[in-house]
Amino acid sequence: MDRAAFKRSPIFGILRGVEPGALEPLLAAVASAGLKTLEIAMNTAAAAQLIRRAAALSRGRLTIGAGTVLGMEDLRAALDAGATFVVMPVLVEDVMAYCVKHGVPAFPGALTPTEIYRAWRAGATMVKVFPSDLLGPAYFKAVKAPLQEVELLACGGVTPDNMGAYFENGASAVSFGARVFKKEWLAQGDFASIGLCVKAYMDRMERIAPPFPSATKP
């Protein structure tokens, strides 16, 4: 992951449950819509193979990472396949330690202030506040008041309509998943609808006044 590039466009998609045959047209659709960063969840069937193929097909247009990394086996498979960043739903300490030691950008999940601070102290590139929609943008402002240096990623319930509020309240980045990569659209091969949804996010991102909060550590 190019951290400076991510800082310029601090948004990524979370892809889960995609079939191998759908991968190439899906990647083309999201790249054409302007997305730069995409994670493939490791609880997707044949996730490592999908990551490897996605990295090859993207030809530099997309940065590919691995999500739902819950142990060292997942981590090794993801990195061997070419993932350049790692996302976790919780803080997995041995995974986090490896990523810090080897310079792999890592986004562990947390919710409470204690969990968030613990993940940050462990070396997170950014802490994924998940599920963000349970507490909303105001929660980010409350957390950032005492934890000003902690970088937060909003995950869960982020839409083009509310993403600006997340940034205004202290988020450094946002993400989206199932509301864009809908099971029925993936099953039907409706990549046009997926692309339109992604474009709505990217268009809104362009209208959010910079500078964003620092999306990554230096």
User: Distance between CA 125 and CA 4 in Å, rounded?
Assistant: 12
Mean pLDDT, residues 8-33 taken together: 96
Q: Is 99 helix (H, G, I), strand (E, B) or coil?
A: helix
Q: What is the mean pLDDT of the chain?
A: 94
Which residue type occupies 214?
S
Could you write out the DSSP letters of every residue in 146-208? T-TT--EEE-SS--TTTHHHHHHTT-SEEEE-TTTS-HHHHHHT-HHHHHHHHHHHHHHHHHS
What is the pLDDT at residue 213? 57
How buried is residue 48: exposed, middle or buried, by Cβ count under 10 Å (0-12/13-18/19+)? Answer: buried
pLDDT-derived band at 132, boundaries 50, 70, 90? very high
65 pLDDT more than 50? yes
Active site residues: 39, 128
Q: Does domain 3-207 have CATH number 3.40.50.1240?
A: no
pLDDT tens for residues 158-189? Answer: 999 999 999 999 999 999 999 999 999 999 99
Cβ-contact 110, 134 below 8 angstroms: no
What is the pLDDT at residue 216? 46
What is the pLDDT at residue 212? 59
Domain boundaries, the chain: 3-207
Specify the higher pLDDT residue, 27 or 218.
Answer: 27
Please name the helix (run of DSSP H) or strand (run of DSSP E) that holds residue 211, with its range, or none. none
